[in-house]
Structure 1
């Protein structure tokens, strides 16, 4: 059984370790670490930073969930980046082209986004189960291809509209938008509720369904799962498609809650951030949420460092240190738990408990 130390200590150790590394870097550069960290925390209470942080964390959370589904099967779906961008541009094109009643319009856009993510994830999934092609290689190549697909689709000769110096899709009607939640001068994405529901669904699937058990069993050992009647190839295919489906929703909070169209200059990199967030959250929906909030906080508050003559890149160093240290921290705590378990077994043998059990069994 997993102890609380295995769940809580690793991310805490990773964050502390990254703070120490950044503190050393700040001291070497002649800056005060306490002043830098205080400025970042203070920034959270300035203007709309807090709400902006939650909005960005919503996007990171969806990306982290998409990656985590693949991790459950020991699949490294590095293609979330390509899957969400492909889904976003297709959903934006359809959303801008159709004119439907409220709610129905939103549902259609979300369905197209999910199907777009599934379709783009299906390529590496099929290659994996039929030809044994590494999902890492195939998804990296698809990430590179998606840039060309987006550029082609947003071209004015296809579905794009030239607005100033920027190319974008048609603006989505108000009926296809998800209303935000006003908080002071800021607006919280309404999609945060949908993201929370997706996180709950992920938790329920893993912990309260037969499919979730089969998924985790196949990830632990495909041979053992096959002996129990689980088709490992089928589970691999389903896991990749589910991961792609969730990835298709990554850009939806911004598309339906702020931008209402997809531009050639739309933010990239959410898929790669999701890998770090999933690692930090250890594939647990609650942990991924905390990891997403931490990552978004570091992104949004980094700008404030320039007011105290500290390079904002220090936040990037902190993020990198977290990613590197989280793996080490989990391994250290895991080995500590294993050593503790071995000591308990040793004490049990020393007290003669196995002998009494053996006698009982013999009788």
Structure 2
């Protein structure tokens, strides 16, 4: 029970706090918080909003799992943003330049995306292991470099599509069919890849030696090394796996809808993934909830202008969730620690009483 309380209470407190704060902001601005929330919920049933939420949540889930793998070892892979964009670009170029049978073509694109993400974050991993360079600094710098690489690749290996520069079109054999939901739109077929990644992550972390060593290294690197864990190998493995999963995040849109990579390809997934992983406590189900919540806030906010409420209120909600979840985790951690210390003290006090009685009996 204590474990579940420690996992569920912090994100719940963070969401409640952000809701209260945003309600206060809405009231000050003259808007009704309840009607605003009802309007956002109602928007889910309009047009393709529901499908858009599912599709975006799939991408959010992948980048959040990529971040969670790093968090398990206290590694901050801030470069997820650059990794998924560069991987999507390279995968789209390869997908448009080859001709393979249906299925194998899409599989190649997926493998190239994962490999590109892993190779790119590998630069930061090598610098971390062999030169002691902080992965935070190196991945931030690699984000900026990725933007330049993407522009170069699209410019030199792409074509003009109207007023937009893009890579070539991936042929039919390389596309992944979607799942139609009637008038609500079509769910990307590769959203199922997010589910598979989540299952694989859960098994890896909870059922394998690698997962045990990963968590042990994060909890106490010194103890893990003393227990025979190769710290350099774990850092390399964790970052490479994180980059590989990040490299998959842009592929549902590439293979399911756009079939090409453009300069205007969606941005911000990587930074959102860090917040979602934090909100979900690196747990596969918690991260799934966080991805759906984040996507809901993004997509349902499009209707707020219709009722005179600025869409920026959603940014306030997301920002306060990130800030308050950090505070909530620390408060709950301290409370649980105090509870455990109190429990130990009570047990020691109870154990001391019989000893005193026994001594008294012997003296009598």
TM-score using structure 2 length: 0.95
Give the equivalent residue in structure 1 for 2:227: 228
Q: Secondary structure of 2:157's partner?
A: coil
Question: Take 2:12 and 2:305, find their aligned partners in 1: how far apart are those partners?
Answer: 27
2:92 maps to 1:92: yes
Q: Secondary structure of 1:168's partner?
A: strand
Give the equivalent residue in structure 2 for 1:41: 41
Give the equivalent residue in structure 1 for 2:161: 163
Mark the CA change 1:355 to 1:145 in structure 2 (over 3 Å): closer, same or farther.
Answer: farther
Give the equivalent residue in structure 2 for 1:120: 120
- Output one character per residue of 1:256-307: Cα deviation in whole Å (capped at 9) or x when no partner: 1111000011111111110011000011111110000000000001111111
Asked whether the 8 Å contact 1:348–1:354 carries over to 2, the reply is: no
Q: CA deviation at 1:2?
A: 5.2
Q: Secondary structure of 1:262's partner?
A: coil
Question: Take 1:128 and 1:4, find their aligned partners in 2: how far apart are those partners?
Answer: 34
Give the equivalent residue in structure 2 for 1:301: 300
- Output one character per residue of 1:145-175: Cα deviation in whole Å (capped at 9) or x when no partner: 11111111111xx211101100111110111
Question: Take 2:352 and 2:278, find their aligned partners in 1: how far apart are those partners?
Answer: 40
TM-score using structure 1 length: 0.95
Question: Take 1:45 and 1:225, find their aligned partners in 2: how far apart are those partners?
Answer: 50
- Output one character per residue of 1:306-348: Cα deviation in whole Å (capped at 9) or x when no partner: 1110101001100000000011111111212122212222221
- Aligned Cα RMSD in Å? 1.3
Question: Take 1:305 and 1:291, find their aligned partners in 2: how far apart are those partners?
Answer: 21
Q: CA deviation at 1:6?
A: 0.5
2:19 maps to 1:19: yes
- In the TM superposition, what are the counterparts of 1:1-363 in structure 2 within 5 Å? 3-155=3-155, 158-185=156-183, 186-352=185-351
Q: Secondary structure of 2:130's partner?
A: helix
Q: Secondary structure of 1:167's partner?
A: strand
Q: CA deviation at 1:355?
A: 6.2
- Output one character per residue of 1:9-41: Cα deviation in whole Å (capped at 9) or x when no partner: 111111000001101111111111111111111
- Output one character per residue of 1:78-101: Cα deviation in whole Å (capped at 9) or x when no partner: 000111111111100000000110
Q: Secondary structure of 2:25's partner?
A: helix
Question: Take 2:239 and 2:2, find their aligned partners in 1: how far apart are those partners?
Answer: 26
Mark the CA change 1:354 to 1:341 in structure 2 (over 3 Å): closer, same or farther.
Answer: farther
Question: Unmatched 5+ residue regions in structure 2?
Answer: 359-364
Question: Take 1:195 and 1:182, find their aligned partners in 2: how far apart are those partners?
Answer: 18
Question: Take 1:101 and 1:85, find their aligned partners in 2: how far apart are those partners?
Answer: 26
Question: Take 2:353 and 2:198, find their aligned partners in 1: how far apart are those partners?
Answer: 44
Question: Take 1:140 and 1:351, find their aligned partners in 2: how far apart are those partners?
Answer: 54
May I ask how many residue pairs the two structures share in their alignment? 355
Question: Take 2:141 and 2:343, find their aligned partners in 1: how far apart are those partners?
Answer: 49
